[in-house]
Structure 1
């Protein structure tokens, strides 16, 4: 029978009267919610993140009411045996209810913006009405429709070519907002510990390296815009209050993001102003006097909705299991979106993060004595941070984005981003000298960094040889200026201290009055590039992705007495990949690219080390299971590189020194994300990586060969307001490259969570981390093995209010 779509406002009058009278005469009021004086069309357009498992229809409507804030009037004769389909993802209330009622013999109509009643479907000949299933469309900049529960959908700014996960010939992982909220992953360090292929190397309290496929990630982007870290690592932390999700594009990315990093690119996807009003307040308290509150409000600022705004604020403060360490983070972000016309949208945004830490460590606990013998610490709270050490980092970011729809599928975007960062640090670094004494390297450093990036992009379909293809063209420019000065007690910066005094926080602060031009950094880096990429449909099932980026990079200035010079012009990085669609749900892919990335780390011979070069290849399979609710993938990768930056363990004029070596790596990645069973959300992955030097010997031993990451939550069928979950992180044994006697055995961490939704506004949660109180080292990234212990068992309680 043909399907007819009938607007709710034109229901047959007899059915309207009978349904409404039956509902009023025998009413089951689900939700007990007050009516809101808002237009019905506003309610139907408001998209919400929903998680309603398949279950008996009456129970599903209760959960729908609690999650959507809608009153549902039920006919008492509704068959108790009727079951609903699962509704998980981003839906308006009308879309969600339509899916719940599919096949039930009922439709619905409204009495007002928040009250609905069920209408039996007339089954006479020619009169059947069926609601079409909702299809979620993913568009450039539509942050509200990116991910569905734990099922990640990368933003268009991550893949550059606007490809879906199945169309991308590389592995892509996403840490979704649902995962961030469930497990209270408020910082990028916590969130990326959840990413299946990323290892978080937190070798100090306020400085962190990230690796993927065995190599350092230094390319962090914000909606696809950014430049590599000038220091090679993340300084401080990045709070996630202002972001919708985090995408990780695995492997070399010279076409996608401007620097051919062989590890991965991390893209922070910003929250955007919404067309419907929404607000949320989260509060939490936890172990070691940690307190947090964050606030997020968004919606239209004009009656016609053509001007929208969003304001985000977060305050995070507390102490630590580490002796004398404490932190305070304040985040403020504001965004405005203007629909200048039907085809033009201008988005402006500004954010500021103030991150202040006390008792900070530069380096960390020495894991070996002066003779290289391992040092054993009885307390995992041990720290060399002093009462006078601190690390304050204040960062401001502003961006402007103009998107234009040219019609016929063609879109253009012009984006400009500026970043200012100011640092003020006062630190102590301890190097064992004898069994009892250590050299303490003490300094105070201030620095500023200014970055400006801009990009113009054009993409759309074109026809050739009777088929439709897609083309993306772009050009970008980036400039970074860094100024820094260090102050010391003397020209050497060293003084001999008792190691026990350092651990007890009893090292006095010397007068840091000495400085000269050798203790400064003043340098500028510039990158310019143009790129082109196409997705060519060779047949209905075979697609070829091909492109290239031409990069020019210039660096000039001095860094602590060493020249900071880089000169690269017209370097072309080709990229190619094939995707073959086995079925609508499964595809095979292969990709190959050259690697080229300027490196801004100090060479042990002076200046910066040579650019990283090589090739990267990958083959894999991607699939979609359970009515496209679960994504699965498997990848094999191989990388050959020259001039890989390896720390020497030396500190030259206050900077870590690096050397270049040749490395080959290969490995396997397996990943799954989405709804594995009704009500069961899963995000998990396994990675194996093996790295060899030019002699064929295993190297970069601080990177675990095997890692397993998994997060799952389950909404209880008997009590759908309740959700329980766990997170597991396991890795194989690691060693310090500079001292193989410093070793971390294989270990696993288990976290638990539970939450309860009292009504459509209020919910509460408990998170218990490191349930089995495992003692472990955070990282052996430093060649000498300097590190801190990880956090012991800890608890966080939170309350959330949503509108």
Structure 2
């Protein structure tokens, strides 16, 4: 059978089997409390549920007895309550009936995915279920991996606006900032390279920026996630889930923002049904922001436009389309941070506002994305989903930089290179087609997912060089430059293709025991400047077991393997390194409290990896200034992660995270030194009537970078000692539709290095800053 035949046959078999394997269950509920009744019916159905608890207050449940089928049971239970149920991707979602339908009886329970776990209309810091880890829509307690979800409420309360903010809010996620717009994210000692948008694997350009205004939430799966993402490091998978056009009625919001360093901005968010029935819906989000910086002369602005469209093509078929464009323009763009030393080998200690760059330096970044999703749910709850995603990123950047020279201590003179202009274009096409099948076997409910993923990522660019080196004194820096005439200094191009066929199943071995088995067969191709690499039929297995100790607590264990080509990492001779391989193990305890409003997890992990690329000291690749790498064998990363998130009661939100790991090679040598090994994050918010007050603290352990003293040529350790940052927020509802929110970050104005890099440079983290937002909803 050909590969194409296998691809087409697998999802088809799922659908053919669904009609004979699905069965009904009988439901009987006696309790008067509607909230308790929904919990009981969800437990019988073995499905998670999602509901805003405010809409259940004071409502009574209709007693039901021996009613066949979940849909009919929910219909009878909710009759006359003004509520209805939506079975959304194997999750029971309770929503209000529109007012103009209140006099009519509730018809069939909808089995379409309008809800899709959206967190926009929830005040919680947790979520009922997610599918990023395995494609199975599982509750957090059922997922046999360490996970973190930043809900829409958490994003708003903590004023999380960027990828950098996501990392700061998540224990175990390290962001290293190189240039002003160049960030690298690490977890468990490895670089994060699993990224998804709406569950579709994509790439993140380290030189790029992204606004979170278009996203509903961020789902993070720590560790290896090759089953759903393909080849990658065992660090973490970060899934950004877009906002959707779900409202049948016209509604919107307008927000005005001001803040430190001359920051100001505005945004508008409009949603509406586009026909009388509301079966066609649209949404548009537009925003503009501008700000200076604590760094001299640096400023940036961003523009975002986002549109979403949804159409119910039938009772059980949904079409979703999105389009977005984001522009970021950074002027007086600084290069490679601040020098660690003077040329005589003495330590430098520059003011955090210092900017040793040229006034013609800039960084322009544009992202255009479009997506289409078609999903159909059959009457037996089998589902077929087809996704397509397109992302185009353009960079136009001019740098004046020098990352290894040092200023003269007497004159202060520091010489930067001539101007470098980088023009880069990156396009990503991705397709994900899969089917989900609930079935019964041995009088138990199970689920199978099977599908295909394909992605192609193509990058091309050209370097230009022009002008003269810039020399000035760091004691009185003059950034004046003359716009040069550029000449080409070379081109580059690369293309990555991945094709994967995957399947995963959840088996209910007993009422309290679940087994999850999956596998992925992948082909990976890479071409850089006509140098080709191909790895075929790589198999990625996954296995997980979840055992319920009782209704509140469960224990789990999971295993998967690791495969990651690392052709972009070169040794000192310029040769690509071999692919890294290994295994990932995890075990943990998960719990839920207060009617599943609060979730907690304790996870222990061990990652065994060979052929890991590590920095080869201060060596560079032959005939370049690029960092050289070498292979480390027998690398083991192990540690613990703790998460607690959700609501203690209707007024009190909490979010706590702790992460600790160590990563060493077979000789016991630490493989990563320039990131914190231990991180703790804690934030909480309490709401009393119209006033909400919140506070948070982020702590991390010390880290160091090995630097070569320019005078003695000896290696020295440059430390950032452990530090903590305190953030506070307050929100007051001036009216039902008008609120004012103030966030203060780094309340005590701590001075710290956000990164030490290249063995020669450092960068300060943000000092104290304030943001104030006025939000009007209608």
Instruction: Please tell me the TM-score bracket, short chain as reference.
Output: 0.7 to 0.9
CA 1:347/1:173 → structure 2, altered by over 3 Å: closer, same or farther? same
CA 1:49/1:445 → structure 2, altered by over 3 Å: closer, same or farther? farther
Q: 1:239-258, aligned counterparts within 5 Å?
A: 239-258=211-230
CA 1:405/1:477 → structure 2, altered by over 3 Å: closer, same or farther? same
Q: 1:484 aligns with which of 461, 481, 490?
A: 461
Whole-Å Cα distance in 2 between the matches of residues 366 and 423 of structure 1?
26
Whole-Å Cα distance in 1 between the matches of residues 706 and 533 of structure 2?
29
Partner of 1:462: helix, strand, or coil? strand
Whole-Å Cα distance in 1 between the matches of residues 554 and 30 of structure 2?
33
Whole-Å Cα distance in 2 between the matches of residues 550 and 595 of structure 1?
13
Whole-Å Cα distance in 2 between the matches of residues 403 and 114 of structure 1?
26
Matched, 1:742 2:718: yes
CA 1:496/1:301 → structure 2, altered by over 3 Å: closer, same or farther? closer
Equivalent position of 2:677 in the other structure: 705
Which stretch shifts more, 423-432 or 285-294?
Answer: 423-432
Q: How far apart are 1:544 and its partner, in Å?
A: 1.0
Whole-Å Cα distance in 2 between the matches of residues 192 and 154 of structure 1?
22
Contact 1:598 / 1:612 at 8 angstroms: preserved in 2?
Answer: yes
Matched, 1:348 2:321: yes
Q: 2:697 aligns with which of 728, 736, 760?
A: 728
Structure 2: segments with no counterpart, 5+ residues: 1-28, 35-49, 59-80, 85-95, 104-110, 708-714
Contact 2:356 / 2:474 at 8 angstroms: preserved in 1?
Answer: no
Which stretch shifts more, 739-748 or 247-256?
Answer: 739-748
TM-score (norm 2): 0.82
Equivalent position of 1:103 in the other structure: none
Matched, 1:500 2:474: yes
Q: 2:527 aligns with which of 556, 570, 573?
A: 556
Equivalent position of 2:547 in the other structure: 580
Contact 1:307 / 1:336 at 8 angstroms: preserved in 2?
Answer: yes
Equivalent position of 1:170 in the other structure: 145
Partner of 1:340: helix, strand, or coil? strand
Whole-Å Cα distance in 1 between the matches of residues 338 and 654 of structure 2?
36
Equivalent position of 2:742 in the other structure: 766
Q: 2:440 aligns with which of 460, 463, 469?
A: 463
Contact 1:203 / 1:778 at 8 angstroms: preserved in 2?
Answer: no
Which stretch shifts more, 347-356 or 454-463?
Answer: 454-463
Equivalent position of 2:492 in the other structure: 521
Matched, 1:629 2:597: yes
Whole-Å Cα distance in 1 between the matches of residues 186 and 248 of structure 2?
39
Partner of 1:743: helix, strand, or coil? strand
Partner of 2:735: helix, strand, or coil? coil
Contact 1:425 / 1:444 at 8 angstroms: preserved in 2?
Answer: yes
Partner of 1:241: helix, strand, or coil? helix
Partner of 2:753: helix, strand, or coil? coil
Q: 1:532-571, aligned counterparts within 5 Å?
A: 532-558=503-529, 564-571=531-538
Whole-Å Cα distance in 2 between the matches of residues 802 and 632 of structure 1?
33
Partner of 2:762: helix, strand, or coil? coil
CA 1:496/1:205 → structure 2, altered by over 3 Å: closer, same or farther? closer
CA 1:235/1:53 → structure 2, altered by over 3 Å: closer, same or farther? farther
Whole-Å Cα distance in 1 between the matches of residues 726 and 119 of structure 2?
31
Whole-Å Cα distance in 1 between the matches of residues 292 and 383 of structure 2?
48
CA 1:757/1:801 → structure 2, altered by over 3 Å: closer, same or farther? same
Partner of 1:181: helix, strand, or coil? helix
Equivalent position of 2:578 in the other structure: 610
Q: How far apart are 1:391 and its partner, in Å?
A: 0.7
Whole-Å Cα distance in 1 between the matches of residues 52 and 211 of structure 2?
22
CA 1:463/1:52 → structure 2, altered by over 3 Å: closer, same or farther? closer
Whole-Å Cα distance in 2 between the matches of residues 355 and 327 of structure 1?
7
CA 1:411/1:779 → structure 2, altered by over 3 Å: closer, same or farther? same
Q: 2:651 aligns with which of 675, 679, 686?
A: 679
Q: How far apart are 1:48 and its partner, in Å?
A: 10
Deviations 1:449-470 (A, max 9, x none): 1110001011121223332211
Matched, 1:293 2:251: no
Which stretch shifts more, 532-541 or 646-655?
Answer: 646-655
Whole-Å Cα distance in 1 between the matches of residues 99 and 244 of structure 2?
29
Deviations 1:164-220 (A, max 9, x none): 211111011011111111121111211221112212212221011111112211222
Whole-Å Cα distance in 1 between the matches of residues 121 and 731 of structure 2?
24
Matched, 1:646 2:617: no
Equivalent position of 1:69 in the other structure: none
Equivalent position of 2:178 in the other structure: 203
Contact 1:585 / 1:623 at 8 angstroms: preserved in 2?
Answer: yes
Matched, 1:363 2:339: no
CA 1:684/1:335 → structure 2, altered by over 3 Å: closer, same or farther? same
Partner of 1:267: helix, strand, or coil? strand
Q: Tell me how large the CA RMSD over aligned residues is.
A: 3.3
Whole-Å Cα distance in 1 between the matches of residues 587 and 112 of structure 2?
28
Whole-Å Cα distance in 2 between the matches of residues 113 and 449 of structure 1?
49
Equivalent position of 1:445 in the other structure: 422
Q: 1:113-192, aligned counterparts within 5 Å?
A: 141-144=116-119, 148-153=123-128, 155-157=130-132, 159-192=134-167
Q: How far apart are 1:661 and its partner, in Å?
A: 2.6
Whole-Å Cα distance in 2 between the matches of residues 375 and 481 of structure 1?
41
Q: How far apart are 1:94 and its partner, in Å?
A: 5.9
Q: 1:392 aligns with which of 364, 367, 370?
A: 364
Whole-Å Cα distance in 1 between the matches of residues 322 and 337 of structure 2?
37
Q: 1:373-384, aligned counterparts within 5 Å?
A: 373-377=346-350, 379-384=351-356
Whole-Å Cα distance in 2 between the matches of residues 564 and 140 of structure 1?
46
Deviations 1:531-568 (A, max 9, x none): 1111111211111111111111111131xxxx653211
CA 1:450/1:434 → structure 2, altered by over 3 Å: closer, same or farther? closer
Deviations 1:585-622 (A, max 9, x none): 21100011110122352413325433221111110010
Deviations 1:638-667 (A, max 9, x none): 111223333455476575544433431111
Deviations 1:749-801 (A, max 9, x none): 00111110122200001111111110011123x24152321121121111001
Equivalent position of 1:694 in the other structure: 666
Equivalent position of 2:75 in the other structure: none
CA 1:500/1:5 → structure 2, altered by over 3 Å: closer, same or farther? closer
Whole-Å Cα distance in 2 between the matches of residues 111 and 532 of structure 1?
39
Deviations 1:280-330 (A, max 9, x none): 112110011101211111131111111011111111111000111111110
Whole-Å Cα distance in 1 between the matches of residues 723 and 306 of structure 2?
38
Whole-Å Cα distance in 2 between the matches of residues 734 and 227 of structure 1?
30
Partner of 2:754: helix, strand, or coil? coil
Whole-Å Cα distance in 2 between the matches of residues 288 and 737 of structure 1?
33
Partner of 1:753: helix, strand, or coil? strand
Contact 2:190 / 2:235 at 8 angstroms: preserved in 1?
Answer: yes
Equivalent position of 2:11 in the other structure: none
TM-score (norm 1): 0.79
Whole-Å Cα distance in 2 between the matches of residues 724 and 601 of structure 1?
47
